[in-house]
Amino acid sequence: MNLLEYQAKRLLGRFAVATPIGQVAASETEAFEAARRLGCDRFAVKAQVPVLARGALNGIAFASTPDQVRSQARAMIGKPLGGDKRLPSHIVQQVLVEERIENVREMYAAVTLDRSAGKLVLLASHSGGEGIEERAAADKGLIRRLDLTLENNKVVADFAWLAGEIAETPPVASGLANLFRDLADAAVAYDATLIEINPLALTNDGRLIALDVKMTVDDNALYRRPELALLRQENDRIASTATELEAQRFQINYVPFEGDIGIVVNGAGLALATYDLVVDAGGRPANFMDVRTTATSLDIAHGLGLLLANPAVKSILVNVHGGGMQRCDTIAEGIGIAFRRQQRQVPLVICMAGNNAQFARTVLENSGIRYVDVGDMAEAAAEVVALSRRKAA
């Protein structure tokens, strides 16, 4: 489970790791009020999404006044961040408003699980910040490594040695050794497979402050970490809301459920009727999906993609009626695009009527889409439920 930055910082704070003072905000008004309460001279506004290189994607901004914080929050909240194969898009639901820290050096520190060796290791560098992976690949000595040993659930390692390899002065080395020990203890306490501080700031007065933190905890250990399990529930809720907002950008009204039958319908009333028919047939819908009349074939492909990307979906029912603005062949084109993109085959039942329905069948055949063509809604619901059970078996 990947934690958001503010969650990771909150957890590290329990182990005396210093972080900037800050507050999470879910709206521009909350961001403004947070800045007023913090009372800093300079602020950082940071999108809380699991995306790398947020700075390069305009997910981190700086401000000098609460009004500027409000403007920066307005530019981020509700907007997608990322959006290619390497960086999938995430809708920003929250921002972290915190004090902007001036530093004389940016360093790097992380505890991670070396899966090949089966042990935790501490990694550190005198030079952190963006692009650390690329720089480390070019300079093999940039990041130093220290193996960690557990004795009676306590971490044992020569933290002072590693700190001395990085720090230029004894006071900084002493502070780093303590921070390394705290970081290692936190990793064990939270069953973390990664805790990364980058950058780790060294300030003018010699303080060490974690400016950004990434934390990944072992899903298999959540049963003994109830406080972390609650964070997972919170993040799942946020992610679900973000998916719904993103679907709206593609002219799709979408709400995920916990079933295994995907449903695609054009019309909210028709969607509710289809939902009821599937339930009456003994099935469990995986979603509510209403394709708006303004949706293009690419929009429809995005909606189908949400279902194909859900491993719980065992079969899909497309129940559409072509009207004046939404033709059946447009929906058929979207189906073909989605199945070519995802390369995942699940049983597909289609019930089509109305504008260009017969031509839509030709489009599906030309696209090589295998499906069950049913003319009656109730029969279509019964068929998709039967296919779902057969797939699960």
85 band by pLDDT with thresholds 50, 70 and 90? very low
Whether the per-residue pLDDT at 240 is higher than 70: the answer is: no
- 359/230: higher pLDDT: 359
Q: What is the pLDDT at residue 267?
A: 86
Q: What is the pLDDT at residue 81?
A: 81
C-alpha angle 236-241-242 in degrees, rounded to nearest 5: 95
Count of the separate structural domains present in the chain: 3
Catalytic machinery residues: 108, 196
**Poorest-confidence range of 59-68, 175-184, 241-250, 259-268?**
241-250
Whether the per-residue pLDDT at 171 is higher than 90: the answer is: yes
- Claim to verify: residue 124 and residue 205 sit in the same structural domain: yes
Q: What average pLDDT does this structure show over 207-232? A: 86
168 lies in some domain: yes
82 band by pLDDT with thresholds 50, 70 and 90? low
Q: What average pLDDT does this structure show over 199-209? A: 95
Q: What is the pLDDT at residue 326?
A: 82
241 lies in some domain: no
239 lies in some domain: no
Q: What is the pLDDT at residue 87?
A: 44
**CATH number, domain containing residue 84:** 3.30.1490.20
231 band by pLDDT with thresholds 50, 70 and 90? confident
Map tokens 């182990």 to a residue.
Answer: 15
- Claim to verify: residue 55 and residue 26 sit in the same structural domain: yes
- The answer to whether 215 and 242 have CB atoms below 8 angstroms apart is no
Map tokens 């692009």 to a residue.
Answer: 131
71 lies in some domain: yes
Q: What average pLDDT does this structure show over 175-185? A: 96
**Poorest-confidence range of 31-35, 75-79, 226-230?**
226-230
% of the chain beyond a pLDDT of 90: 68
- The answer to whether 1 and 191 have CB atoms below 8 angstroms apart is no
- Claim to verify: residue 179 and residue 273 sit in the same structural domain: no
- Claim to verify: residue 142 and residue 207 sit in the same structural domain: yes
- Claim to verify: residue 89 and residue 109 sit in the same structural domain: no
- Claim to verify: residue 175 and residue 272 sit in the same structural domain: no
Whether the per-residue pLDDT at 36 is higher than 70: the answer is: yes
**CATH number, domain containing residue 225:** 3.30.470.20
278 lies in some domain: yes
Task: Please write the tens of the pLDDT for every residue from 159-168.
Answer: 999 999 999 8
- Claim to verify: residue 70 and residue 112 sit in the same structural domain: no
Q: Which residues, at least 6 apart from 139, have a Cβ–Cβ distance to it below 8 Å?
A: none
End-to-end CA gap in the chain: 29
- Claim to verify: residue 195 and residue 67 sit in the same structural domain: no
Q: What is the pLDDT at residue 181?
A: 96
Q: What average pLDDT does this structure show over 79-108? A: 81
Domain limits for position 276: 250-392
Q: What average pLDDT does this structure show over 210-233? A: 84
Q: What is the pLDDT at residue 180?
A: 97
12 lies in some domain: no
How high is the mean pLDDT of the chain? 90
244 lies in some domain: no
Task: Please write the tens of the pLDDT for every residue from 275-293.
Answer: 999 999 999 999 999 998 8
CA distance 44 to 50: 18
- Claim to verify: residue 172 and residue 190 sit in the same structural domain: yes
- Render 28-88 in DSSP notation, one character per residue: HHHHHHHHHHH--SSEEEEE-SS-S-TGGGT-EEEESSHHHHHHHHHHHTTSEE--SSSS-
- The answer to whether 39 and 214 have CB atoms below 8 angstroms apart is no
Q: What is the pLDDT at residue 86?
A: 43
- Claim to verify: residue 220 and residue 255 sit in the same structural domain: no
- Give the end of a domain, one of 53, 83, 99: 99
CA 118 to chain centre: 27
Q: What is the pTM of this model?
A: 0.63
- Claim to verify: residue 153 and residue 171 sit in the same structural domain: yes
- The answer to whether 90 and 120 have CB atoms below 8 angstroms apart is no
14 lies in some domain: no
Task: Please write the tens of the pLDDT for every residue from 306-363.
Answer: 899 888 899 999 999 987 668 999 999 999 999 988 878 899 999 999 999 999 999 9
Q: Which residues, at least 6 apart from 48, have a Cβ–Cβ distance to it below 8 Å?
A: 4, 5, 6, 24, 92, 93, 94, 95, 96
- Give the end of a domain, one of 84, 99, 114: 99
What residues pair up with 281 in beta bridges, in sequence order?
none
**CATH number, domain containing residue 255:** 3.40.50.261
Cβ burial 333-372 (10 Å sphere, 16+ → b, else e)? bbbbbbbeeeeeebbbbbbbeebbbeebbebbeeeebebb
Q: What is the pLDDT at residue 392?
A: 66
- The answer to whether 309 and 286 have CB atoms below 8 angstroms apart is no
- The answer to whether 29 and 74 have CB atoms below 8 angstroms apart is no
Whether the per-residue pLDDT at 241 is higher than 70: the answer is: no
Task: Please write the tens of the pLDDT for every residue from 37-61.
Answer: 999 999 999 999 887 778 888 899 9
CA 333 to chain centre: 29
- Claim to verify: residue 181 and residue 51 sit in the same structural domain: no
